Amino acid sequence: MPDVNRGNRPLSPHLQIYRPQLTSMTSIVTRITGNGLLVGSLLIVWWFLAAATSPEYFAFVDAILTSWFGDLVLFLSLWALWYHTLAGIRHLIWDSGSLLGLKSSYQMAYGIIGGSVLLTILTVLVI
Amino acid sequence: MDYTTDRKRVTGLGSAKSGTEHHWHMMISSAALCGLIPMFVFTFGSALGGTYEEVLAYYQRPFPAIVAILTFLVGFWHFRGGVQTLIEDYTRGHTRKILIVCFTLLSYAAMATGIFAVIRLAL
């Protein structure tokens, strides 16, 4: 096995070969939301640090987080957070070996999209 | 003549040797975050927008403070694992190593900063 030809092997087709499907798209968005959440989390950590430092520093950072820009980032982060959470739950279900069929995968994909929007609106209303 | 099967000959020759454990840690942290995230969203959400004194008083209560500490701890731990997978999928060689080191440091720095800040607010 170690003397196998490594230079000229056929490569498996990658993403750009396939037509976009709900299953692949929801998976890609899971990755984007998960990593994109870094921006919002760093803002929140900064806010906590400012609150722990001094009233002046808090006023400065709090003004940024409650500005239209902060609102936009936190609103998008909120949706990303709910989306990533629901998609993560779907992964935990899949890891247990259940609901791996095409039909249930699609149903869960619709559930994630609808659920994340619904939870975002609900959270904004509650808060 | 070698009687070893192909399967046996390649066992242990993979590059990472820790993929299963990595996945298992992501499963544990995601299970924890299923509970922590809703709690953090609603506690932090009600604190945000308050005055300095209100925020201070709010995070001196045990529940919001403990939820925030656990969320920073598990959240950034989960992020560290996730971003490592992202880097491993799209980069290679030195770039990959440097990026993994940088984002690991960033994750722990953000985790420590957040936890320190909450403890300082709470005490």
| Cα separation, A47 vs B47, whole angstroms | 11
**Chain B residue with the nearest C-alpha to that of A58:** B52
Kindly list the domain boundaries of chain B, sorted by start residue: 20-122
Other Cβ atoms closer than 10 A to B52? 16
Candidates B110, B26, B48; CA nearest to A37 is B110
Residues of B in contact with A41 (CB under 8 A): 75-76, 79, 110
The complex scores an ipTM of 0.87
Flag if B9 and A66 touch (Cβ within 8 Å).
no
Instruction: Judge whether residue A1 has pLDDT over 60.
Output: no
Provide the pLDDT for residue A59.
96
Residues of A in contact with B13 (CB under 8 A): 1-2
Classified as helix, coil or strand, A70 is helix
CB B33 within 8 A of CB B81: no
- Its pTM stands at 0.87
CB A120 within 8 A of CB A82: yes
- Say yes or no: domain B20-122 is CATH 1.20.1300: yes
pLDDT in tens, A58-91: 999 999 999 999 999 999 999 999 999 999 999 9
Cβ-based burial of A72 (10 A; exposed 0-12, middle 13-18, buried ≥19): exposed
The one-character DSSP state at A17 is G
Is pLDDT larger for residue A8 or for residue B50?
B50
Instruction: Judge whether residue A10 has pLDDT over 80.
Output: no
pLDDT in tens, B50-99: 999 999 999 999 999 999 999 999 999 999 999 999 999 999 999 999 99
Q: What is the mean pLDDT of residues B39-57?
A: 95
Residues of B in contact with A34 (CB under 8 A): 79, 82
Residues of B in contact with A38 (CB under 8 A): 79, 83
Provide the pLDDT for residue B87.
96
A52 at interface of B, judged by CB pairs closer than 8 A: yes
pLDDT band at residue A3, thresholds of 50, 70 and 90? low
Contacts 24+ apart (CB under 8 A), A13-20: none
Is pLDDT larger for residue B17 or for residue A116?
A116
Burial profile B89-120: b = 16 or more Cβ within 10 angstroms, e = fewer: eeeeeeeeeebbeebeebbeebbebbbbbbee
Flag if A59 and B9 touch (Cβ within 8 Å).
no
Kindly list the domain boundaries of chain A, sorted by start residue: 22-126
| Cα separation, A86 vs A93, whole angstroms | 11
Flag if A78 and B41 touch (Cβ within 8 Å).
yes
| Cα separation, A36 vs B14, whole angstroms | 30
Flag if B79 and A52 touch (Cβ within 8 Å).
no
Provide the pLDDT for residue A19.
85
Residues of B in contact with A31 (CB under 8 A): 82, 86
Structure-token match 């803002």, residue found? A43
Instruction: Judge whether residue A2 has pLDDT over 70.
Output: no
pLDDT band at residue B19, thresholds of 50, 70 and 90? confident
| Cα separation, B54 vs B63, whole angstroms | 15
pLDDT band at residue A44, thresholds of 50, 70 and 90? very high
Provide the pLDDT for residue A6.
65
Provide the token pair at A119: 């939870």
Q: What is the mean pLDDT of residues A9-34?
A: 86
A123 at interface of B, judged by CB pairs closer than 8 A: yes
Residues of A in contact with B27 (CB under 8 A): 92, 95
Provide the pLDDT for residue B59.
97
Instruction: Judge whether residue B2 has pLDDT over 90.
Output: no
Which of B13, B41, B49 is nearest residue A66 as measured by Cβ atoms? B49
Task: Enumerate residues 6+ apart whose C-beta is below 8 A from A93.
Answer: A99, A108
| Cα separation, B20 vs B31, whole angstroms | 17
Q: Which fold has domain A22-126?
A: 3 helical TM bundles of succinate and fumarate reductases (1.20.1300)
Which of B45, B49, B82 is nearest residue A35 as measured by Cβ atoms? B82
A112 at interface of B, judged by CB pairs closer than 8 A: no
Element (H, E) at A2: none
